[in-house]
């Protein structure tokens, strides 16, 4: 992993929203930060070593899965373009609840290091600082959202809600429905909905039989058909009941 330099705001111009045009042009031209390309696979510490004063890593492209294991159970979050992270912060050995962290790169990724020099340059631009804080807050909200969805009583319901939630960010619409083009293995989905991998495989098969969630094959993602359960008091069981098993 050899670092190279990138003009950060050429890759992520949204961070300059609200900046006066002349200043934005200067920042796009002058702000250069270290970056690294990450191959697919598991990465244990250090993914990229941060130094005191560095703000963190900004994902410029790719798909990264961050995993935390506590007492033999795992929680995961998906990170993509524009997400800010400090992969190992807050992961400390606890006498009561030991934990460990790992990162899996699901798609080849490029991350930029928001180092001390970057920090010194942008500290006077509150709009940039606010944009970075917004993204950190959005990550936290998405995690809480996923925890709420994980309380759906049926496993099919949890999976259906989770896949629709993920499609809001990573999905695209075509004539047949919404396509979630993410390389999500059944084990990863199981970790996200607090279930066992074999149960998730069976639940996805039942959703496919009802033509609600169709696999794209070779772990390329899913096609979502119909509509998500959007009514505040509508249980996902009602959505499942409306789509009986398709006779084969």
Q: Do 79 and 119 lie in a common domain?
A: yes
Say if CB 34 and CB 87 are below 8 A apart: no
Q: What integer pLDDT is reported at residue 238 of this predicted model?
A: 56
End-to-end CA distance of the chain: 50
Report the pLDDT averaged over residues 186-215: 93
Q: Is residue 84 part of a domain?
A: yes
State how far the Cα of 184 lies from the Cα of 219, in Å rounded to an integer.
Answer: 6
Tell me the pLDDT tens digit for each residue of 26-53. Answer: 999 999 999 999 988 887 655 677 788 8
Question: Is residue 248 over pLDDT 50?
Answer: no
Decide if 16 contacts 9 (C-beta within 8 A): yes
Residue that the structure tokens 């990863």 belong to: 188
Q: What is the mean pLDDT of residues 93-98?
A: 68
The CA distances from residue 227 to 129, 211, 236, 238, 242, in Å, are 37, 12, 11, 12, 11
CATH number at residue 175: 1.10.10.10
pTM of the model as a whole: 0.83
Q: Tell me the mean pLDDT in the region 150-167.
A: 90
Per-residue b/e over 69-98, b at no fewer than 16 CB within 10 Å?
beeeebbbbbbbbbbbbebbeeeeeeeeee
Residue 122 counted as domain residue = yes
Give the residue from 95, 122, 148 where a domain finishes.
148
Question: Given 125, 148, 171, which residue is the final one in a domain?
Answer: 148
Q: Is residue 191 part of a domain?
A: yes
> Which one-letter DSSP state was computed for residue 147?
H
**For the ranges 13-27, 47-61, 91-105, 119-133, which has the lowest average pLDDT?**
91-105
Burial class (CB in 10 A: 0-12, 13-18, 19+), 4: exposed
Q: Domain count of the chain?
A: 2
User: Are residue 16 and residue 31 in the same domain, yes or no?
Assistant: yes
Average pLDDT, stretch 133-139?
Answer: 91
Q: Which of 117, 148, 179 is the last residue of a domain?
A: 148
Q: Please, what is the Cα angle at 188 between 184 and 192, to 5 degrees?
A: 115
Is residue 131 located within the same domain as residue 236?
no
Q: Are residues 61 and 164 in the same domain?
A: no
For residue 68, the cross-strand partners are 75, 101
pLDDT tens-digit profile of 77-86? 899 999 998 8
Task: Give the CATH number, domain containing residue 53.
Answer: 2.60.120.10
Q: Is the pLDDT of residue 219 over 50?
A: yes
For 48, the token pair is: 């990229």
The C-alpha R_g of the chain, in whole angstroms, comes to: 20
The answer to whether position 247 is within a domain reads no
The 10 Å Cβ neighbour count of residue 100 is 13
> 3-state DSSP call for residue 246?
coil
Whether the per-residue pLDDT at 233 is higher than 50: the answer is no
- What pLDDT does residue 88 have? 63
| Residue pair 112/35 in contact by the 8 Å Cβ criterion | yes
pLDDT at 179 over 90: yes
Residues 6+ apart with CB under 8 A from 232: none
| Domain extent for 202 | 153-242
Q: Which of 63-72, 182-191, 235-244 has the highest mean pLDDT?
A: 182-191
How far, rounded to the nearest angstrom, does the alpha carbon of residue 171 sit from its chain's CA centroid? Answer: 12
18 or 246, higher pLDDT: 18
46 SS3 class? coil
Average pLDDT over residues 68-72: 81
pLDDT at 234 over 70: no
Output the average pLDDT for the chain: 85
């Amino acid at each position: 992993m050899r670092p190279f330099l990138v003009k950060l705001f050429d890759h992520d111009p949204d961070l300059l929203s609200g900046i006066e045009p002349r200043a934005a042009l200067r920042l796009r031209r002058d702000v250069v930060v270290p970056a690294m390309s990450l191959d697919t696979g598991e990465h244990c510490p250090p993914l990229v070593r941060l130094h005191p004063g560095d703000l963190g890593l900004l994902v410029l492209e790719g798909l990264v899965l961050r995993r935390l294991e506590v007492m033999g159970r795992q929680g995961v979050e998906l990170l993509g373009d524009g997400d800010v992270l400090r992969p190992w912060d807050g992961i400390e050995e606890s006498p009561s609840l030991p934990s460990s962290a790992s990162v899996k790169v699901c798609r080849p990724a490029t991350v930029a290091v928001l180092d001390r020099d970057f920090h010194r340059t942008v500290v006077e631009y509150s709009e940039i600082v606010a944009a970075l804080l917004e993204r950190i807050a959005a990550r936290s909200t998405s995690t809480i959202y996923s925890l709420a969805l994980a309380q759906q009583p049926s496993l099919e319901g949890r999976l259906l809600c989770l896949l629709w939630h993920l499609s809001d960010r990573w999905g695209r619409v075509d004539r047949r429905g919404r396509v979630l083009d993410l390389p999500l293995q059944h084990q990863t989905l199981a970790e996200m909905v607090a279930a066992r991998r074999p149960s998730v495989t069976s639940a996805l098969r039942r959703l496919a039989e009802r033509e609600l969630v169709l696999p794209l094959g070779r772990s390329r993602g899913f096609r979502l058909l119909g509509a998500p359960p959007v009514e505040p008091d509508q249980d996902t069981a009602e959505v499942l009941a409306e789509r009986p098993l398709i006779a084969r």
